[in-house]
A and B are shown apart, each in its own frame.
Chain A
Amino acid sequence: MNIIDELKEAFKILPGVGNRTAQRFTFYAIKADKESIERLSRLLNEVKEKIHPCKICGNPTTEELCSICSDSDRDHSTVLIVENIEDLYQIETAGKYRGVYHILGGHLAPLENITPEKLRIKELIERVESSKIDEVILALNPNTAGEVTSIYLYDLLKKYKNIKITKPSIGLPYGSTIHYLDNYTIIQGINERKEIKGY
């Protein structure tokens, strides 16, 4: 493979980029001035070097802790569990939630080789044991994989008797995901959350 083909293939790893777009990107890279290409490759490098998951919640950050975990105005005793960064961003955009997060990195699905050790579940248990947490909100996606993951987490967490385990109370359509929901639905769902008394 020559360098042009190789670059084209490399562009195809980007979401939504197929053959044609990858080709356009490649030709652009050939024609573009040196500075803009250098800037792009420097930033791509830095993003990999400097951005890492927040020590506590898993949210990408350049610091040790993300801006949410280091914000003393937020309620650190309420932890909302989401599958992905996209879900966290969607809830933050909706704006009303004042607790903190825990990003799992997906949902359980053995068929896709996603078993418990592939998710940030161990980190969650350590967090629950080492800090003062009053409430865990299981805000997984409203589909069967999310339901399975919620049941699994509930069973792990229920032995911590002073933690209230809740879930958003929304009549979400089966199969939807949080990052496609509108702000109103998200805020209402979190505000009117329900305690899980057993699965």
Chain B
Amino acid sequence: MKILDINVINFRNIKEKKFEFADTVTYVYGENGSGKTNLLEAIYYLSCGKSFRNVKDSDIRMRETEYFHVDGTVSSDDTKHKIAMGMKSGEKKIILDGKNIKKVSELFGVFIPVVFSPEDTSVINGSPMIRRRFIDRMIASIDNDYIIYLKKYNYALEQRNKLFREAIDNDENLLYAYEKILTENGIIIAERRRETVDKLNEIITDIYFRITGAKDRIFVNYKSEFTDGDRDDLLLRYRNKRGNDKLLKRTSFGVHTDDIQIVINGENSRYFASTGEKKSLVVALRIAESDIYNKIKNEYPVMLLDDIFSELDEKRRRNLLKFFIDKAQVIITSPERYDIGTGVAYINMEQIDG
């Protein structure tokens, strides 16, 4: 998977600029605030029409402008695609190879970047929702149908919640119909999450060791109410929760309450890991994600390494780069320019008009 170039207009502080990337490593430097993370965000945006920073499109558009636009060329297995995306007067436009696309989900799988930003430890510190999203995005990038199961599940969840919220939950047949959809799709979702967590566990301790040199035992603990019990048990459990759900005015049982704990030496990292350990864990998880993707798709996603150099010491930096150099396309940002080898393209963000 590669990105060859990107054309960015009115995207945060980038007014209008075309960037080209090397096959191996592109090194983006410039002082803080110059727009390095914004460039990575624009690249990520091209893959899915969303920011990895969890913000609205209106935050992305350059202040005091009417629209923003990104377009770029990506390639996978030597097949090139052109993606263009933009937002004008509240309307989003997505174009793949010259054709208009209605939903971003149709773009899925065309271009897959993985963002490393050790500063962002929300996958450890944040809510279970953020960890579910981490695992779901990972699964969706290797399994095209997964999004459909999630959509069906979430659809049924919202409809069932509405029945309790408005206290119109007296029709048992209707509750049952939604519980059926929740059960059927929840079983598949839990299965996929379980399989993916198992794959993570096969490699995560080793990856962590290779970055940090520390012999810590890392374990990803999938916590779900959906892991035991067959279809009929699960249906019954929804039924038994109806009284409780009526009081809570929402659905309290199901894979939307799953969590994925990252455990270090037997302790939940969310509460017990140091800041440094959390940063290393975040990086290790991203490497594992890329590795799993590679095992299935036979190519690496594009690695977007945001400011990892100032977060990690010299040894960890070199260890991290070793994972990807000569395997994946890497785009690195850093406030200072270091020479890191031959064949590297450099982009100076300070030469960009803002």
- Chain A residues in the interface with B (C-beta under 8 A): 108-111, 115-116, 144-145, 147-149, 151-152, 155-156, 174, 199
Q: List 18 A-B contacts (CB under 8 A).
A: A108-B177, A110-B162, A110-B166, A110-B168, A110-B174, A115-B171, A115-B174, A116-B173, A144-B156, A147-B152, A148-B181, A151-B177, A152-B173, A152-B174, A152-B176, A155-B173, A156-B173, A174-B148
**Partner pick for B181 among A111, A115, A147, CB 8 A cutoff:** A147
Q: Are B181 and A144 in contact (CB under 8 A)?
A: yes
From DSSP, what is the main secondary structure of chain A's interface residues?
Answer: helix
Q: Which residues of A contact B151 (CB under 8 A)?
A: 144
Question: Please, how many residues of chain B have a CB less than 8 angstroms from a CB on the other chain?
Answer: 19
**Partner pick for B158 among A108, A111, A151, A155, CB 8 A cutoff:** A111
B142-156 at interface with A (beta carbon < 8 Å) = 148, 151-152, 155-156
Q: Which residues of B contact A144 (CB under 8 A)?
A: 151-152, 155-156, 181
Q: Which residues of A contact B162 (CB under 8 A)?
A: 110-111
Q: Does residue B122 face the partner (Cβ distance < 8 Å to A)? A: no
Q: Are A148 and B177 in contact (CB under 8 A)?
A: yes
Q: Are A155 and B176 in contact (CB under 8 A)?
A: yes
Q: Are B181 and A108 in contact (CB under 8 A)?
A: no
Q: Are A110 and B163 in contact (CB under 8 A)?
A: yes
Q: Are A116 and B177 in contact (CB under 8 A)?
A: no
Say how far B111's CB is from chain A's closest CB, in angstroms. Answer: 23
Known interface pairs A110-B163, A174-B148; A148-B158 also in contact (CB < 8 Å): no
Say how far B39's CB is from chain A's closest CB, in angstroms. Answer: 35
Query: How far apart are the CA atoms of A155 and B173 in the complex, in Å?
Result: 7
CB-nearest residue of chain B to A117: B171
Query: How far apart are the CA atoms of A111 and B155 in the complex, in Å?
Result: 10
Q: Does residue B178 face the partner (Cβ distance < 8 Å to A)? A: yes
Given contacts A155-B173, A155-B177, A199-B180, 7 further A-B contacts (CB under 8 A): A110-B159, A110-B166, A110-B174, A115-B174, A144-B151, A144-B156, A151-B180
Q: Are B159 and A109 in contact (CB under 8 A)?
A: yes
Say how far B162's CB is from chain A's closest CB, in angstroms. Answer: 4
Q: Which residues of A contact B174 (CB under 8 A)?
A: 108, 110, 115-116, 152
Q: Which residues of B contact A110 (CB under 8 A)?
A: 159, 162-163, 166, 168, 174
CB-nearest residue of chain B to A152: B177
Q: Which residues of A contact B158 (CB under 8 A)?
A: 111
Q: Which residues of A contact B173 (CB under 8 A)?
A: 116, 152, 155-156
Q: Which residues of A contact B148 (CB under 8 A)?
A: 174
Say how far A142's CB is from chain B's closest CB, in angstroms. Answer: 12
Q: Are A111 and B159 in contact (CB under 8 A)?
A: yes
Q: Which residues of A contact B159 (CB under 8 A)?
A: 109-111, 148
Q: Which residues of B contact A147 (CB under 8 A)?
A: 152, 181
Q: Which residues of B contact A108 (CB under 8 A)?
A: 174, 177
Q: Tell which of B148, B174, B181 has the most Cβ of chain A within 10 Å.
A: B174
